[in-house]
Structure formats: C-alpha cells, structure tokens
Chain A
Amino acid sequence: MKEKTVGQKWIVGVILAILGLIFILPLVWMILSSFKTESELFTIPPTVFPKHFTWDNFNKLFTSFNFAQYLKNTLIIVLFSFFGMFLNAMAAYGFAKFKFKGKNFLFFIVLATMMIPGQVTMIPVYLIMNSLGLTNTMAGIILPGLVGAFGIFLFRQFISTISTEILEAARLDGASEWFIFWHIVIPICKPILAVQGILTFIAGWNSFLWPLIMANDDKYYTLSVGLSLLKGQYASNYALQMAGSTFMVVPIIIIFMMFQKYILQGFNVSGMK
C-alpha cells in the first residue's frame, strides 16, 4: 500500500485540531466562566480569562446551597451501584458456567428487559415504590437501577471464555461455589471489571431522572438534580451555574483521562468489532 504522505497527514491533523478545538470550546468556556465574577459574565465583549479570578462561585454552592449533601447522596448512589455491579457479575457467572432448569428462559427475560424503554417503566415503578412507602428515600432511589441487563450480558460474554477446567479443579479440591466465584472468577474478570467499574461510576455520578422522580426533598437530591434546580431558580446567575457544572464535569474528565485506556479498550472487550 502506498504510504500516506507527510503532507496529507498534516492536512488531516490540522482539520482534526480545528474540529477538536470547537469540540472542547464549551467545556473550556465553562471552566473559565466558573472563575469569573457574576458581573464579568455580562460584559460585552466577553473576557476570555477571568479578570478577577475568584473561587466565590464554588464557595456559594456549598454555603448558600446544599451541594455538600448532593455530593454525599451522589457518592452513596455510586457506592451502591458498585454493589449492583457485583450482583450483575454473580448472575453472569450463574448463566455462563452452570446448567440449571429454566436457565434459557431466565436469560431470555434478562435480555428482554434491555428492550423496555425507561419511559414505560418509570410510572409503574413509581407506583410500586409509593405502595412500599419508599418514595423520597435513598432505597427508593437506589434499588431500581441496581442491576442491568447490559452489564449481565457483558459479564456473561467474558466469563464464558474462562476455562471450565480451572473451576472443576477447584471444585475437586473442595472449594465452595462462593469461594470459586470470589477468588477465581472475579480476579480473572479484572479487565471487564475495570471497564464496567468506570462505566458504573460515570452512570452513578450522572444519575438524574430517577432521583428527580423519587426525591421530593432537598436532602435526597443528587448533584444533577440539584444543578437542574439551580438553573430553574437562578436562571440568570450564569457564574454560579458554570461553577456547578464544572464541579460535576471536571472530576469525570479527570477519571476518564486516568482510565481512558480501559474505557476505549472496553469496546473491544464487549465484542464491538
């Protein structure tokens, strides 16, 4: 094959650089604006770098608003979704490495839930939670999203590739099924756990619609719900809004940069080729 010329590479590189700049412009503008004073955002022409660099907007999120509580709730959700990830892995192990009655039917049910859109289930799940007295509680927010068919499916694909002989050998040595799962299967699952772990973290950190429906009380809001409220109530205080957005987006970007290798590989692990 003819080598691509250096000139061609440069042209493509420059096009990508321009597009890339446009792409991250909103995020850069968000971060810059979050350090400006409220009045500076209303100057024409707008300033690029903050004239009076200030942390005030961030301070306000925690003093005038309940962002510390929102952060705590969000982290609780993240923590439990990691627990949910292990439930997914457990179910996946059951489906991948055992023969049992009703297995195909049960797995079909799991896959079928992938097809059901959230809009259809949100009303009945709300009614179920209401009759259980779980609306406006942390349990009500956490439980419905704990497990997911997609996660089970990906784990099962991966666990199916583990050799059954290793598991049989452990069984002959008298290891319990739980021991095999926890000390053999889970360690082998590291690559997929990394991918799933990051995706789980991002999903938990970003959870919005369900907490919005379940929580009537400031005390159970997540960061996303708090931020959308802030936008509703302080529509013209853009500096504050940008600080709130920066606070939500920047940690995720940092985590992503740290673990990007795993995330981008994950598309290969999940067989998306």
Chain B
Amino acid sequence: MTKFFNKRAPYLFVSPAILLLLMFSIIPILIAFVISFTDMSLNGLADFSLIKFVGVANYVKVFQDPIFVKALGNTVFYVIIGVPLVIVCSLGLALLINFGQNKVFSFFRLVFYSPSITNVVAVAVVWAYLYNPQFGLFNYLLKLIGLQPVPWLQDPIVAKISLILLALWRAIGVNMIIFLAALQGIPKAYYEAAELDGANARQRLFHITIPMLKFATFFVSVTTLIGWIQFFEEPFVMTQGGPLDSTTSLALFIYRNGFQLSKFGYAAAGSFVLFVIIILVTLLQFRIQRKQEETEL
C-alpha cells in the first residue's frame, strides 16, 4: 500500500489542487467562451436543447448596448483617476514612513495598512453613511470649516470620485508595504556617494530612489490596473451603479446581466470583452516596461 502510494506520490500530491483548478478555472473559461456565442438564459438552463447558437450576435449587441458603453467609460474613468492616485499616494506614504526608522514610524505602518484588511462590504456600508448628504460626517466636517455640502453619491461625476476615494483608502496599505520593502532594499552606499557628489534631497529622490523602485512600481501598477478594471464591490454595495448608471462598472454590468437578468450568453460575451481588455492592457504595460529598460541600456 505504502509502496503503491510512494510511486505515484507526486501525482497524488498535486492532483486535488489540479482537479479543482481544472474544474473551476480552466473548464469554465472554455464553457464561457462557448456560451458567449449562444443565447443561453434561464430557459436554456432548464433544457439544453433550447439553447441556440447565435454567432457573434452577443458581441455585436454588447457594443451597441448603451449601458455597456457607459460602463466601459466609467471603468476607464476609474482606471485613469484611480491607478495614478494609488501609486502616488502609496509611494508618498512609504517615503514618509521610511524617513524615520523607529517604533513610532512602524506604528504608522500599521495604521495605514489596516483599511486594506477590512471587509469591503462593511466599509462600503460605513462610507455610505459618511457620505450621507444630511447626516453624514463628511458634509458636517465641510460645514465646520465653512464649505458647501458635497452631493457625494448623488452627482454622476462626484459619485465616481467618491467610490474612487473609498477604493483608494483600501488600496494604499498593501502597495505602501510593497514600496517600503523595496525602499529598504536600496543600498545606503548610493545615497552616501550621491551626497559626497553634492546631490540635494530632490536629486536623490528623482535620480536614486525612484529609479531603484522601478520593479516595485511596475508590479504595483500592473496589479492595481487589473484590480481597477475589475472594480465591483464598491459600486455594487454603495450605489448599485446609480445615479443613472453613472457608477456602473464593467464587472457590475456582467454581474447584473448574468445573475439578475439571467442572460448568461450575453454576460459571458461581456466578460470576454473584459478579459481581452485586461490582457491587452497588461501586454501593453510589459511592452512599456521593456522599452524603458532598453532605452536605459
């Protein structure tokens, strides 16, 4: 028995995980691809013979769907505003925290990290309360310093920014830690040499620190970008995509069509569009990264 097991050990070790991944990741992507060319819906779920092959109709329809186009625009908005904000804020905080290396500063590390482990639904509920136009804390604080109340979740543009603020608050912690780890990996000798040559603090930042953080910045921007393209929970819990679909993201559009309207084929087509966008954007980033390395050599 033991001998039988030992001979096949590697297969027995990897097979549970491989089977689960096959079943819930690899096979599903094939199924998604097939049903994106069908009119699969609740009827089709009950009786497979009712499913009709519709060719690329779903893909054509999805680009003519005004809500999809709007969701695409919103997602672009989230990415363009959100990704740079995350990078700049987490890098800025990492630099500040890296400035002093004592107990107080490592305590700050904990403070800024804590939002990122909180439950997204719970904090979305909390922020929806903070954003309340009449009784929310934010408008009250604005009034205290003599500013006008802000329609946090009521105005189409402001609502998007409000959701970004919440997501930014949650995203900073992890990325800050990544930047901190990278900062601590920069050899001190570089700074000492620069100082001997008379470089000031600004020059040291732009000519040593930031170039040395290239890999960390690349990693943070790729993961952040992919995350923001899939932006979902914040609009789902806080605004349900409103007002007038001005906060609906692509992921929310797919969820709604798939699970609230049961248009599985249509939603699958939408999800493939999302997938292709992610792949293209990631490839583009890798190319930019490589270009930059080449020009430096």
User: CB within 8 A of A113: which of B25, B177, B226?
Assistant: B25
B1-39 toward A: CB 8 Å interface, digit per residue (1/0)? 010011001111110111011111111110110010000
- Taking a contact as CB atoms under 8 Å apart, the answer to whether B112 and A23 are in contact is yes
User: CB within 8 A of B23: which of A128, A149, A206?
Assistant: A128
- B59 interfacial by beta-carbon distance below 8 Å: no
- A7 interfacial by beta-carbon distance below 8 Å: no
- B206 interfacial by beta-carbon distance below 8 Å: no
Nearest opposing residue in chain B for A268, CB measure? B181
* Contact-size category for B: 35 or more
- Taking a contact as CB atoms under 8 Å apart, the answer to whether B121 and A208 are in contact is yes
How many residues of A are counted as interface, with CB atoms below 8 angstroms from the partner's CB atoms? Answer: 95
- A51 interfacial by beta-carbon distance below 8 Å: no
Which candidate, B62-70, B76-84, B91-99, B155-163, is the interface stretch facing chain A?
Answer: B91-99
User: CB within 8 A of A253: which of B11, B114, B182?
Assistant: B114
- A202 interfacial by beta-carbon distance below 8 Å: yes
Nearest opposing residue in chain B for A9, CB measure? B100
Instruction: Decide yes or no: A209 and B233 within 8 Å by CB, A9-B99, A116-B25 being known contacts.
Output: yes
- A109 interfacial by beta-carbon distance below 8 Å: yes
User: CB within 8 A of B96: which of A15, A117, A241, A252?
Assistant: A15
**Complex Cα distance A223/B10, Å?**
38
- Taking a contact as CB atoms under 8 Å apart, the answer to whether B28 and A128 are in contact is yes
Instruction: Decide yes or no: A144 and B9 within 8 Å by CB, A1-B188, A206-B120 being known contacts.
Output: no
User: Which residues on A sit within 8 Å (CB–CB) of B272?
Assistant: 120
- Taking a contact as CB atoms under 8 Å apart, the answer to whether A109 and B18 are in contact is yes
- A133 interfacial by beta-carbon distance below 8 Å: no
**Complex Cα distance A55/B271, Å?**
44
- Taking a contact as CB atoms under 8 Å apart, the answer to whether A272 and B181 are in contact is yes
User: Which residues on A sit within 8 Å (CB–CB) of B192?
Assistant: 1
User: Which residues on B sit within 8 Å (CB–CB) of A249?
Assistant: 118-119, 122-123
- Taking a contact as CB atoms under 8 Å apart, the answer to whether A91 and B18 are in contact is yes
User: Which residues on B sit within 8 Å (CB–CB) of A106?
Assistant: 14, 18
B255-294 toward A: CB 8 Å interface, digit per residue (1/0)? 1001100001001100110110011000000000000000
User: Which residues on A sit within 8 Å (CB–CB) of B35?
Assistant: 123-124, 127
- A20 interfacial by beta-carbon distance below 8 Å: yes
- Taking a contact as CB atoms under 8 Å apart, the answer to whether A260 and B110 are in contact is yes
User: Which residues on B sit within 8 Å (CB–CB) of A30?
Assistant: 126
- Taking a contact as CB atoms under 8 Å apart, the answer to whether B21 and A110 are in contact is yes
User: CB within 8 A of B264: which of A94, A127, A208?
Assistant: A127
User: CB within 8 A of B275: which of A13, A20, A116, A149?
Assistant: A116
Nearest opposing residue in chain B for A98, CB measure? B10
CB within 8 Å of B: which A195-228 residues: 202, 205-206, 208-209, 213, 223-225, 227-228
Residues of chain A having any CB pair with chain B under 8 Å: 1-2, 4, 8-9, 12-13, 15-17, 19-20, 23-27, 29-30, 33, 41-42, 44-46, 87-88, 90-91, 93-95, 98-100, 103, 106, 109-110, 112-113, 115-128, 130, 143-144, 146-147, 149, 152, 176-178, 181, 202, 205-206, 208-209, 213, 223-225, 227-228, 231, 238, 241-242, 244-245, 248-249, 252-253, 256-257, 260, 264, 267-268, 272-273
Can you show 13 pairs from A to B with CB atoms below 8 A apart? A12-B99, A12-B100, A26-B123, A33-B129, A87-B16, A109-B21, A124-B27, A126-B258, A238-B132, A241-B126, A245-B119, A253-B114, A264-B109
Residues of chain B having any CB pair with chain A under 8 Å: 2, 5-6, 9-14, 16-18, 20-29, 31-32, 35, 40, 45, 93, 96-97, 99-100, 104-105, 108-115, 117-123, 125-130, 132, 134-135, 137, 140, 169, 177-178, 181-182, 185, 188, 191-192, 195, 216, 219, 226, 230, 232-233, 236-237, 250-251, 254-255, 258-259, 264, 267-268, 271-272, 274-275, 278-279
